Amino acid sequence: MSGPKRNVRGGSRGGASGGRFHVEFLYEDDELLAVDKPSGLPTISPEGSRSKSLYDIVSAHIQKRNPKGRAAVVQRLDRDTSGVIVFAKTARAKTALMSSWNESVGERIYVALVEGSLPSPEGVLDTWLSEVDPYRVRQAPAGSKGALRAITRYRVLGEGDGLSLVELSLETGRRHQIRVQLAEAGCPVTGDERYGSRRDPLGRLGLHATTIALDRPSDGAPVRVECPAPPGFAAALRGSTSSRAVRSAVDQPHGRKPAPESAGRGVPERGAPERHPPVDRTRAWPGGGPSARAERPGSGKEAGKREPKKRR
C-alpha cells in the first residue's frame, strides 16, 4: 500500500534538552520520530553508565504524550557523529523496520570534512572491512574470513586549506564504514584520532548525517528527512573554495532545494535513488539488521570501482 510522500527538511519542530545537549525534533508521526543528534551525545549509554543518552531524551519526549511509551532503537550513530537519526515509537514499527531494514531504507547521506584531497571529484569506495574489536575496524583483503564488503559513493563539494568537504552516500552499513574508508584513502575525517587524523578544526568529529529516506512501516509511504550540516563544515575551508555554491550544497543535502514546510506537511520526492549492483548486506552487525555505526544507500553517478589509495 502506498501513501502520501513526505519530504521534511531540517528546521526545528520542537526540541528537548538533556544536560548540556539540546536535541532538535525534525519529524514525528504515530510510528516514527527523527531528531538531529548533537555531536558528543551517545545514542544509547554504555552498560553501567549513568550518563544521559539520546534514547533517554527521546523516550522522555514520547512519554509526555503517552506515559507508557518509549523510544525503540532501530539505528545508531557514533557518539561524536551528529545529524539525523530515526527512532521507532511502537514495538510493531521497530519489528517491521528491523526485519526489512535494507528494503525499507532507501538512502543515507552524510557530509564529512576530511584531510587532504580525494583522487577524483566523485567516485566509489569499494573495500572489505574487518572488526578488530568493538571499537576499531580495519581494511581487509577481499573475501577474507570475517571481512564484509563496504561500498560508499562520494562527491567532493569543495576544497581549501588542505581540507575537503565531501558528500557520502552509503550502499552498505558497516561499523565505522565512512571513517575507515576515508582514512585508507588518505583522507581521514577531521578530529578522528582513532583513524589517523591530525587536524581538528571543528573541535569535534567532522561527520554529519544529513539525510535519511525510508518507507513508513504501516503503509509504505516514503518519508525523507534532511538535516543540513553545521555552518562550520563549509567555513573550515577558509574561503578558497568555500564559496556560496559550496555552502549551498551543504545547506541543501544532496543538491535538493529546500522543501516548503506548511503545517508540518512535506512535498513529493523528486525521483528515486540510483542503486548499486547488489551486495551482501546481511551482516551489518551480529545477527543482521542495521549497523550500529554505518549507514547505507544513496544516489549519484558511479565513477567506476577503484582501489582506494593507501594512507600517506
Q: What is the set of active-site residues?
A: 78
Residue type at 136 in one-letter notation: R
Would you give the DSSP letter of residue 187? -
Would you give the DSSP letter of residue 194? G
Residue linked to cell 580525494? 118
Closest CA to 54 of 10, 92, 26, 24: 24
- Residue 25 burial (C-beta neighbours within 10 Å; 0-12, 13-18, 19+): middle
75: its cell numbers: 539505528
Closest CA to 224 of 299, 303, 302, 156: 299
Compute the residue count for the chain: 312
Residue linked to cell 543540513? 228
Q: Can you state the percent helix, strand and coil of the chain, rounding each to 5?
A: 15, 30, 55
H or E segment and range at residue 22 = strand 21-28
Instruction: Report the distance separating Cα 26 and Cα 20, nearest Å.
Output: 19
